[in-house]
Structure 1
């Protein structure tokens, strides 16, 4: 965590939403090392420096040009709603194409909302998984059939390319990047500073408009709250359904509607987050952490952590706990 701050370039275009532009500065700007050192240097840039119109009743002045993209370790592309990507031909304007080409190889590139159209039109998402705002999903699929679109999630991490859903999902994406690079403790502190959840459950499915539920129909929130307290032991679908007095079939359907994933997927996600917290914040042996997180054995924990993060428990702890094994 030493050395110069990691440069994050934010590419602002006419029609940018102030919230999307500001949240990148707010989230990355709040990240500090345990010693209080600023971890990120966020720089706004434009294809042509100068006045940039937002989709609000004010403009912003951007002094940096595309040379900033070449200096950055991470580039974030918010949506533009003046020349909405969903109405575009699918081809990048020459100046924007030149800007994307200025990004050096190995840079992490992320989009917010329909900013994914820029990455798609540049060919950066072909053969990959991606997401965008759920309301643009059908159009996106039609324009970019080579991309595996998942409109049910808040963000997709493909390693060097990340995409997120509408506006507020940009917060989730930025926190995820901080968590990925500096650990959950740093990301959680940023979330506390900005008064947002460090990790939102589920995906876009919970925000898509649906018919109003009939009066008296309960949610699965109580079962989820109970399950989080039971992660140290096996939790069955029957137990979860019983907490809400539902059949397992009804509970599973309701759970997926509310959270955007199956109960089993959600439980695994919660167990991984518990294991990450224990690896970062405690000196417990790996097998004890596996037990506390409900994975049973160190081998099972290793398998799940590697599938989710691409690292072993010892390697993860070595990164975020200074080499403690």
Structure 2
């Protein structure tokens, strides 16, 4: 039996309750063959109850000692004054963060990035937070390479996300990277959320909810998903939607936050990952079936998405 990966969620005073609870929910759902893949503990910087920004107090089962044992540490959003408004790190938070072992994966959700910024963990790194606070993060911590437009940033051992729902996207991304799409999709289904949104997708989507009626690209997207292995250029998609290329491109980006080309690559990579996990098709066939063309193209796009080759991905995530 493999020991589960240990996750500590550090709740700091004025913690955002949604951000604090969602990692525990998502990671605790993850299992394979009935065995839990993660051991999740919500802890504080000390043994005292923690104030939640929604107006209640949470009594936690664990103190900062959980940080010393964790393989992944997650900092939820918080309104704590020092990191959020003054660019300072209170002694108790600094002492708690000092317990984190070298090599531990560190994640933040929403304004949790301010805590990592105050600790110097994000210096020289790309990072994000909720778009409404991105300018503040950049002003307080000018060494951070802040990108306010993306849902999350994966910089290897340090990952940051935008607000609220983007924290779900980040957690599902980590589940997928750790254990494959089947585990992540199961967690997504259980919590009734979309199974995959690319981290580079914009935080700003002008028309996030669209129906299947005239004037939307929804039916064309659904049509394209059944034909990923076929040539699908912009003109073909626009023709199916009965729009001009210019109108189609504008509406597509407004509804998805992505260009048609970026969306197609994202969906093709997702399909390739599914084929690598669930079939024994040769790599060349996987590339063809997913619409990525050649094994070299598949390797390039998979590396760009998650940093591994098709063979490595298959060895890691293929279902027995």
Normalised TM-score (structure 2): 0.92
Gapped regions of structure 1 (runs ≥ 5): none
Question: Could you say which residue in structure 2 is the equivalent of 1:248?
Answer: 245
Decide whether the 8 Å contact of 1:9 with 1:72 is kept in 2.
yes
3-state SS in 2 of match to 1:290: helix
Which residue among 80, 86, 91 is the counterpart of 1:89? 86
Distance 1:288 1:304 in 2: 15
Q: Is the 8 A contact 1:228 1:270 kept in 2?
A: yes
Q: Are positions 1:306 and 2:303 aligned together?
A: yes
Could you tell me whether the CA contact under 8 Å between 2:206 and 2:254 is conserved in 1?
no
Q: Is the 8 A contact 2:128 2:146 kept in 1?
A: yes
Of 36, 40, 52, the match for 2:50: 52
SS at match of 1:110: strand
* Structure 2 equivalent of residue 170 of structure 1: 167
Which residues in structure 2 correspond to 1:193-272 (within 5 Å)?
193-200=190-197, 202-206=201-205, 218-272=215-269
Aligned to 1:71: 69
In 1, distance between residues paired with 2:171 and 2:275?
A: 22
Deviation at 1:252, TM superposition (A): 2.3
Where do 5+ consecutive residues of structure 2 fail to align? none
Give secondary structure in 2 for the equivalent of 1:204: coil
- How far apart in 1 are the matches of 2:18 and 2:206? 18
Do the aligned partners of residues 39 and 243 (structure 1) sit closer, same or farther apart at CA in structure 2, a change above 3 Å counting? same
The answer for the alignment partner of 2:59 in structure 1 is 61
CA distance in 1, matches of 2:120, 2:186: 36
- The Cα shift of 1:144 comes to 2.6
Give the Å deviation of 1:321.
Answer: 1.7
The equivalent residue for 1:155 is 152
Q: Is the 8 A contact 1:14 1:83 kept in 2?
A: no
Q: Is the 8 A contact 1:134 1:152 kept in 2?
A: yes
Aligned with 1:129 (options 123, 126, 129): 126
Match of 1:275 among 248, 272, 275: 272
Corresponding position of 1:25: 24
Aligned residues of 1:49 and 1:65 also touching (Cα < 8 A): yes
Does structure 2 conserve the Cα–Cα contact (< 8 Å) formed by 1:85 and 1:114? no
Say which is worse superposed, 37-46 or 242-251, in terms of deviation: 242-251
Structure 1 counterpart of 2:137: 140
Residue 246 of structure 1 aligns to a residue whose secondary structure is coil
2:10 is matched with which residue? Answer: 11
Tell me the distance in 1 between the aligned counterparts of 2:70 and 2:306: 23
**In structure 1, how many angstroms separate the alpha carbons of the residues matched to 2:245 and 2:121?**
41
* Deviation at residue 219 of structure 1 after TM alignment: 3.0
Relative to the length of structure 1, the TM-score reads 0.90
Note if contact 1:28-1:178 (Cα within 8 Å) is conserved in structure 2. yes
Give the paired residue count: 315
